[in-house]
Amino acid sequence: MPKILIRNLNNKLIDVPTSNDSILKIIHDHQIDWMFACGAKGRCTSCRMVIHSGQEHFSAPNEAEQKLIDLGRLKENERLACQNTLNGDIEVSVAEQNKFPHLTYTD
């Protein structure tokens, strides 16, 4: 069973049954407040994840992500939670610019 570890949310660990759901949906299904502003269409980068480990479990960026990479809006170690599915264990953080003011983040 793949796992998502969210470092800066007190090392929150999510065990995920095999699913084709987006990482964003999985996170929300586990009652974790994670920003997304464009309706999960891959246009705004507000659901950006900083990847610390497990990058090999992501497929190549899709068209939406590639456009943001080409525009310099996504870094090499960042992916969109709304545009990716979970294919293995990942360790991520909420990007600094996408943190909610009502949540307490750890580092």
What per-residue confidence (pLDDT) applies to 52? 98
pLDDT of residue 28: 97
| pTM for the whole structure | 0.94
Residue 89 forms part of a structural domain: yes
Round the average pLDDT of the chain to a whole number and report it.
Answer: 95
Instruction: Please indicate, yes or no, if residue 105 is contained in any of the structural domains.
Output: no
Phi, psi for 94 (deg, rounded to 5): -70, 130
Q: What is the pLDDT of residues 18-58, one digit of tens each?
A: 889 999 999 999 999 999 999 999 999 999 999 999 999 99
Radius of gyration of the chain (CA): 13
Q: What is the pLDDT of residues 48-90, one digit of tens each?
A: 999 999 999 999 999 999 999 999 999 999 999 999 999 999 9
15 in a domain, yes or no? yes
Q: How far apart are the first and last CA of the chain?
A: 26
- Give the separation between CA 38 and CA 52, rounded to whole angstroms: 25
- The answer to whether 4 and 14 have CB atoms below 8 angstroms apart is yes
Domain harbouring 57, CATH code? 3.10.20.30
Name the pairing type of β-strands 78-80 and 3-6.
unpaired
- Whether 78 is in a domain gets the answer yes
Domain that holds residue 84: 3-98
Q: Is residue 104 part of a domain?
A: no
Count: domains in the chain: 1
Residue 103 lies in a domain: no
Quick one: pLDDT at residue 41?
94
